[in-house]
Structure 1
Amino acid sequence: MERPELPLPQLHAFVVLAEELHFGHAAARLGIAQPPLSQQIRRLEDKVGHALFSRGPGRVTLTPVGRELLPAARRALGDLADGLAAARAVGSGSTGRLRIGFAASLALTVLPGLLRDFRQRFPGVRLDIQEMTTAPQLTALHDRTIDIGLLREPSDTDSELAFKTVLTEPFVAVLPSAHPLAGQRTVRLGDLSDSPFVLLPRDVGPGLYDQILGLCAEAGFVPRIAQDAVEWQTVCALVETGLGVSLAPASIRRIRLQGVAFRRISPGTARTRVAVAWRSNDQNPLVAHLLGAVGQGAPASL
């Protein structure tokens, strides 16, 4: 059996009249004249198929049918009010869910402060944080499985995505403590030409990988890659075992391993950049809020 639709304005009029039990008072509360109120109630009674009020001289009372309908009508109006409030909150960006991908090394730099500040400003927003390397983040942005990416050396040629630099930092040499060059404060990059290298594979971060190989090429050699690892902490651990040396962003120095030495390199002008990425046509207000949080002032430097 098909359910009759009960228009919300008629339910509102019904609830107000049920509370006032007086047409004049209910009409005044609704801001309408009595005849339109009577018409609203009559239309609702026609839909229900039964009288909702008993009308007498100067007196209105609920019928048993009206008493049965009243709790459901209040729930329907309450649910609508709650839904409208929730929709307004989502539309304003004060609540909802924001999915963020981040490169693991950024947990050592921009990520903690950014998330702390965002949570203080928008405590009603649920943050879903996923650790991902650069290439998977770009795929996830296209697939709409994340909303924001924090990554290293992205390509700016992707027309569907937008990027903003939030941090730049120099490179450091990552050496086993027993390496002959570990005793120097600054290492000439060319002096590492005979050492095997431990690097992130190109498919997880092509921009950074190409930049490191470019630095080595400028120093006159092609690095002999003995081992790769998808996380910088693993790279450092493999360096500690003596498998090779590496070049890494300077923030990696915050990974404390007793058997690893981090040294400035010469020339030391090259810098790697960290960027925030998002879909250029994204209308999610939460994305705009986060971009506002990372967009205060010029990009930071380490």
Structure 2
Amino acid sequence: MDRPEIPLPQLHAFVVLAEELHFGHAAARLGIAQPPLSQQIRRLEDKVGHALFSRTPGRVALTPAGRELLPAARGALTELSDGLAAARAVGSGRAGRLRIGFAASLALTVLPGLLRTFRQQFPDVHLDIHEMTTAPQLTALHDKVLDIGLLREPPDDETELSFRTVLSEPFVAVLPSTHRLAAQRTVDPAQLADDPFVLLPRAVGPRLYDRITGLCTEAGFTPRIAQHAVEWQTVCALVEAGLGVSLAPASIRRIRLKGVAFRSTHPGTARTRVAVAWRSADRNPLVTHLTTAISQKPTAGP
């Protein structure tokens, strides 16, 4: 048997009358005349199949059926009110879930401050954070698995994604502390021509990989890559173990390993770009809130 659909105005009228137990007072509270209120109650009683109120001159009281309905009616109205409030909060970008991807090295620079500021402004937004290298982030953004990406060296030929630069930082040489060049304050990439290199695989960040190998090419040599590692933490650990040297974004210096020396590169004009990325057609207000929380001006890194 199908359940009768009960319009919410009828439930609202029922709850108000149950609280007031006076048609005149209930009608005034609802902002309507008494006859429409009486009609609402009669229609509801017709759907229930039983009287909800006993009416005697000068007195209105709930019947047993009315007392049974009242908690459910209040619950339905509360649930609707809560749902409307939640929908308004999500629609305005004050609540909801934001899925963010980030390159691991950015946990050392822009990520903590950005998330802290965003959380202070929008405490009811759930942040779903995923550590991912650049190429997987781009795929996840296209596949709508991520809403926001924080990545290095975004592509120039992307048509469906938008990018905003949030950080520009130089490269540093990553050397074993016992390396012959560790005593220098700056290192010319040309001085590393005979050393084996430890680098991230090109597949996880093609443009960053090309930027680093391009620095070597400009210095007159092709790097001899002895080992690949997916994360910069691992790159530094392999350098510490003596498997080679590397060129890396300057923020990597915040990885503290006793056996690793970080030295500025010469010339110091080459920089790597960090950007926030999002789908250009995305109208999620949370995405707008986060992207506008990031300064419009590129930030120079260390």
* Category of TM-score, reference length = shorter chain: over 0.9
Deviations 1:145-196 (A, max 9, x none): 2211111001132211111000000011111122222221121211211111
Q: Say which SS state the counterpart of residue 70 (structure 2) adopts.
A: helix
Alpha-carbon distance in 2 for matches of 1:242, 1:15: 77
Cα displacement (A) at 1:240: 1.2
Alpha-carbon distance in 1 for matches of 2:180, 2:198: 17
Alpha-carbon distance in 2 for matches of 1:287, 1:62: 50
Output aligned runs, 1:109-124, within 5 Å. Answer: 109-124=109-124
Q: Say which SS state the counterpart of residue 2 (structure 2) adopts.
A: coil
Partner of residue 221, structure 1: 221
Cα displacement (A) at 1:91: 1.6
Q: TM-score, normalised by structure 1?
A: 0.96
Partner of residue 88, structure 1: 88
Is 2:165 the partner of 1:161?
no
Query: Counterpart amino acid of 2:95?
Result: T
Q: Say which SS state the counterpart of residue 203 (structure 1) adopts.
A: helix
Alpha-carbon distance in 1 for matches of 2:29, 2:156: 59
Cα displacement (A) at 1:55: 1.9
Query: Counterpart amino acid of 1:127?
Result: L
Cα displacement (A) at 1:57: 2.1
Q: Say which SS state the counterpart of residue 79 (structure 1) adopts.
A: helix
Output aligned runs, 1:38-53, within 5 Å. Answer: 38-53=38-53
Once the two structures are overlaid, the 10-residue window that deviates more, 97-106 or 87-96, is 87-96
Partner of residue 7, structure 1: 7
Is 2:136 the partner of 1:136?
yes
Query: Counterpart amino acid of 1:227?
Result: Q
Indicate if the aligned counterparts of 1:156 and 1:163 stay in contact, CA closer than 8 A.
no
Gaps of 5+ in 2: none
Alpha-carbon distance in 1 for matches of 2:157, 2:41: 62
Deviations 1:73-99 (A, max 9, x none): 111111111111111111222222111
Alpha-carbon distance in 2 for matches of 1:49, 1:240: 81
Output aligned runs, 1:122-201, within 5 Å. Answer: 122-201=122-201
Query: Counterpart amino acid of 2:209?
Result: Y
Alpha-carbon distance in 1 for matches of 2:163, 2:125: 23
Alpha-carbon distance in 2 for matches of 1:265, 1:5: 73
Alpha-carbon distance in 1 for matches of 2:239, 2:61: 85
Indicate if the aligned counterparts of 1:103 and 1:132 stay in contact, CA closer than 8 A.
yes
Indicate if the aligned counterparts of 1:171 and 1:272 stay in contact, CA closer than 8 A.
yes
Q: TM-score, normalised by structure 2?
A: 0.96
Q: Detail structure 1 runs of 4+ shifted over 3 Å in the superposition.
A: none
Is 2:298 the partner of 1:299?
yes
Cα displacement (A) at 1:223: 0.7
Partner of residue 250, structure 1: 250
Query: Counterpart amino acid of 1:83?
Result: G
Q: Say which SS state the counterpart of residue 203 (structure 2) adopts.
A: coil
Q: Say which SS state the counterpart of residue 162 (structure 2) adopts.
A: strand
Partner of residue 97, structure 1: 97
Alpha-carbon distance in 2 for matches of 1:235, 1:151: 18
Alpha-carbon distance in 2 for matches of 1:117, 1:27: 48
Q: Say which SS state the counterpart of residue 29 (structure 1) adopts.
A: helix
Gaps of 5+ in 1: none
Cα displacement (A) at 1:265: 1.4
Deviations 1:104-127 (A, max 9, x none): 101110011111111122221211
Q: Say which SS state the counterpart of residue 24 (structure 2) adopts.
A: helix
Partner of residue 70, structure 1: 70
Alpha-carbon distance in 2 for matches of 1:260, 1:73: 68
Partner of residue 276, structure 1: 276
Is 2:110 the partner of 1:106?
no
Count of aligned pairs between the two proteins: 301
Indicate if the aligned counterparts of 1:175 and 1:240 stay in contact, CA closer than 8 A.
yes
Alpha-carbon distance in 1 for matches of 2:205, 2:194: 24
Cα displacement (A) at 1:297: 4.4
Alpha-carbon distance in 2 for matches of 1:52, 1:59: 14
Q: Say which SS state the counterpart of residue 202 (structure 2) adopts.
A: coil
Deviations 1:194-247 (A, max 9, x none): 111110000011110011111111111111111010011111111111111110
